[in-house]
Structure 1
Amino acid sequence: MPVVSNQANDIDVDLGRLFSSLARNWLRILLVALCITGLAFLLAWLATPLYRAETRILIETRESPLTRGNAPADADRPILDAEGVASQVQVISSTDILKKVATDLNLASRKEFDPSIDMSLPKRILVSTGLMRDPKDVPADERVLSTFREKLKVYNVERSRVIVIEFSSEDPALAAAIPNKIAEAYLGVQQVAKQQSNTDATQWLQPEIANLSDRVKEAEGKVAAYRSQSDLLIGQNNSVLATQQLSELSSELSRVRANRSAAEANAESLRSTIRAGASLDSAPEVLSSPLIQRLREREVELKAQIADLSVTLLGNHPRLRALNSQLNDLEGQIRSEARKVLSGLETEAKTAAAREASLQRDLDALKQVSARADDQGVELRSLEREAAAQRELLESYLSRYREAMSRGEGNYLPADARIFSRAVAPVEPYFPKILPITIAAFVASLLIMAIITLLQELFSGRAMRRAGQGFYDVDELAMPAAMPVAALVEERELVEERTGTLTVERAAARLIADNAKRAIFVSPEGDEAAAASVMVAREIANSGQRVLLLDLTSAGVASHPMLDGQQRPGITNLLAAEAQFTDVIHADFYSDCHVIPVGTADPETAMRAADRLPIIMRSLASAYDLVVVECGPTDPEGVARLLGEDTKIALALIDPADETVVASTEAFARAGHDDMLLVSPVGAAAGRNGLHRSAA
């Protein structure tokens, strides 16, 4: 058996008793849950069904490479970044587009979009009483747009350039028509914007082209005038004449120098050969002379004849001597002719030297002219660059102008977006989903009612117990250590048979069997007999029921031992409005019973509110299984306010033959309380010795 704890301030929650309240109140929880579920089902069934459809737009370049003039290499890249796509979302939901769609579809004539059309009777009453603003005070366009925006949702798909236009409506056809119409209006707005931009561009380019044409003419005129005034005449190969002549003269001078050097070298070589008397056959200039070539041929013929005749004739033969003489003459002629060739070479070298000197003088003069031309060329190139830049800009403007004019005349200005998924009329509404709503309402109501029941059980204090407090068997009897259990039981049965009274255990069993909600205890003999109510309350509490003892004695003799003599707020504080129920209900230190002591307020002040006792009793009876009231020595009129349904009156006595007991019994019998219980706290002494927590 667990030992009784004396901890006065620590309170534990009895989880078993707490959650057993769900089983005791299962019918109430189920009925409330079914009612809420039925209401949710009815509301979902009567709710107006809403349909939702969506149109998807892809932001991309619609321009064809075949129609895009002078397109850069990166022209096919996406035209918008994440911020640009977000900006297009705002454009799609702009007021201008929504107004156009509302006008095209005549949304102002639909009750769904204009709350001022066919207002219900409750709304008319609220408007007439000033509790609700009259919708007609708002302009019709604003009313339609306000409802339009509530039903419209435009957003872009994350990490993409897809924009979704979503709309909900009571009409499935309208739910599909509006997003499609918004998408078409958006593409139309883009095309109009491009047309306007194209028109603005052509209007701006026209005067710019005219101005640029004049500036190009002026710049090219300056180039031509400067070229004519300077020495920068253009020759062949589109170069300055002085530069071209200088180049040609330099080439001629180089050629003349080469010829002079070659002539001098050839003359010196031939001169050396003649002086040395060497053969002239090695000199190319001698061999190239036609006369020398003929003389050499004649020399060969003579040598051939001499060779032929030498075979048959002697060396002194006149014929041979004549031929040798002719041969010697030919050698002299060849050398004479070689000297003439040498003289020609020397003359040629002198002529080349004179030509070289002349060309050098002309070259020096042209260098001065070319230097002046270079200085003038710097200025000329500057003028040409200016003219070229103006001409290039003019050609660019002309190309853009012609392109803009052709696009405007051909009306080819595609929007940078396309509809790749059009909305279709939905078949099923997205709201209300009757089955999910009903199931959710049932589950939520069950959960909420379970929580409410647990909170009621917890706040009522019925699920609280003193920390460390043990449990005892209800059938155990308080007895002295030296007295056998059988002897004590026999003594109690004898007393009950002799006096007609009930023991504490029998009285507790009777109250439980009769399903009593209130037990009013009267103690004619005073404080000692008041222990019976405490013992009965503890006995019933130990059986698992929720029991509260209300102490209405003047000295608090019933609650005083239950709280170890501590002064706590009680019934007088509650009647005097100085405390609430949670402040005056306390836990018994030695059982699962709860107790409301007498309290600390002024009794006279509390008695002025005695009429509140019936209300307090009803509240306590609804929260507890049994309310035990200890009234002390009182008469039937004193307990009249405490009576109610399922009330039992018990007379606590020690000596049945006591005059006060007999008088009190007769008084209650005359008042119609013939079935009151007579309870005797026999064996209470053992309980008071601390061996059983049922004792006071």
Structure 2
Amino acid sequence: MNDTTLPLAQDQNLDPYQGAEGTDIQHADAPILLQYWQTLIRWKWVVLGIMVACLAAGTIITLLSTPQYTATTRIEINREQQNVTKVEGIESPQSTQDDEFYQTQYSNLQARSLAQRVARQLRLANNDAFFAAHGAEAPGGLISGGTATAGNAREEQLREAVDLLLDHVTITPISRSRLVDISYSSASPDISAMIADAWAAQFVATTIDRRFESTADARKFLEQRLAELGTRLEDSERAAVAYAANKNIVALGQSESADGKTIVERTLVSSDLEALNSALSEATTERIAAESRAATRGPTSESSTNPAISNLRQQRALAAAEYAELMVQFEPGYPRAKALQEQIQSLDGAIAREEGRVSSSRSSAYREAAARENDLRGRVDALKSQLSDQRRNQIQYNIFQREADTNRQLYDSLLQRYKEIGVAGVALSNIAVVDQAQVPNKPSSPNLLLNIALAFVAGIGLSFLALIALEQVDEGLHDPSSVGRLLNLPLLGSVPMADDDEDATEALKDSKSHLSEAYFSVQSNLSFATAHGFPRSLMTTSSRPAEGKTTSSVALAAALGRTGKSVLLIDADMRSPSCHEYFGLTNDAGLSNMLTGNKTLQEVTKDTGLRGLHVMSAGPTPPSAGELLSGNRFRAIIEEALGHYDHVLVDSPPLLGLADAPLISRAVEGAVFVVEADGVAVRGLRSSLARLRQAHGHIFGAILTKIDSRRASYGYGYGYGYGYGSQQDD
């Protein structure tokens, strides 16, 4: 039986004036959250399957995973370096104040070069336990010998160890602090703690090495410059000394100015000139004194101070005194008096001679002093001339000396800077280990609850992606509000999915059943489709079989019959007839007989037992149904039937793949397009409607069938009508 699924009723309230004018009936779109909920309900089994699969996968992976132990070393990274030498390096102190400083440190903590240092220090390339702790195959030992193959094997093993280190280390900065946690995870607690501590230690060593290496280029450059300046300094000093020797410039005293220039304060010539000039001054003074003494007549102070003259005078005074005593007693002729007188005369002669000698020595001293003065004056004049020449030569000497001083200053400053850079690396590291890694006593992963939560989140994400993909692939109509927007047709009514055990015939006989109420609503909407009310001739069709068009035809015919109208239902689907089965009738004669002229209208119509409803079955299946419908015979049958019945409803074949429905549309006033919810894609529906419109068939609107009532909530009309009816039944 075709199209045997029985829908339940839905009360569909349409604007009667819009229906009468044949325009699109307006339906408010459902809220966006409600649309999401409807989509979720539509694909609930897919979503449930994805969620169950993700949770199962998370649980299985957790139970099968090897326990991992995480050890953490905490370090402190300071911006300022502790400089114990008080000597600045080549890097500016402000460079550590940049905002990028800590980000750079975090990146350095994850550098491959640091992992290589750790691997080399701990000899991890040959450590079988290390590879086993990471679930990797052990390297199997190095190849003996010094061949290139052995070298390549060592590099490959080291590369594998470094890759494992980088995959299992985690750098976690502590927010709002200078602290950083270095965590390492493996299946061995001891290995995790060992590598975490080694990582921190090597990072400190790397920082110190980097600081020292940063001065290597500067030291190399300074060494080259020092060698060059040393040669230039030696040459300039040698040139200054050679020039001084050539020009007899002998410096006896030198000093250094505030700007480091060498100043020659005294030379040998200037010192000699100073000494000779002093001697000349003394000689001049002596010559003047000697000249004054030589010009003096008579006794002088020299006579009184001369020891010989003083002694002679003393002897004369004694002789004179003794002579005077004798003269008191004796006469001048007394022998003793006479002897004393001769002695006095002899002493006077000696004194006179001595005084003459003193006077002669004054003249000689004057002559000597004058000669000495003249000699010194000549020598001073000669030294003055020599000093003048030396001062002229000293200008060039000073040029040589200044060049030597400049080279010496450059050499000394570069040498000092070279020494400073050499000791700059002695500064303490700005990185300190706060907490050493402790050997973990319990695994950090896998965490069953966390993994289940992550699997749940992953399931939600995958479900969301699956829903998006399915919604993009699934182009069927899901709700009544999209009929007008996607098909440009008025919505005549929407019918939810019926229960499997509902009997269509019994439902149609009961005017209060869901089926009767639903199609009575559709029949009411169709009563506004034309100016004369419900169309007298009407066909129901769909895109493909089993969309509910036959059920819709039977239900509409029954609804019209209950209003007191006489209705004829014609089963025009001669390829797959099914209307007679709804009423338990035979299909021995029907439409195919009338189209061939073998039977009359009265012979092929049968009473259905429902009020006002008769049915014309399809009859025997003809060889070519399309050829029978292509002529005017079917139109004539419709006109003849309208002469006996108030309304004629035609259950036509599907549109896709068959030419029957377009041919039938030419004989009726219009068509009702039946669409199964979540059935044919929109492009297929549009293609079917295009075929019908190409045959100039008029379409009154669409009926959306087989809507799942458990996930449908399309506005007040359906919600109230269906819900209220259900409550009444209850």
**TM-score scaled by length of structure 2:** 0.42
Q: Which has the higher contact order (CA 8 A, sep 6+)?
A: 2
Relative to the length of structure 1, the TM-score reads: 0.43
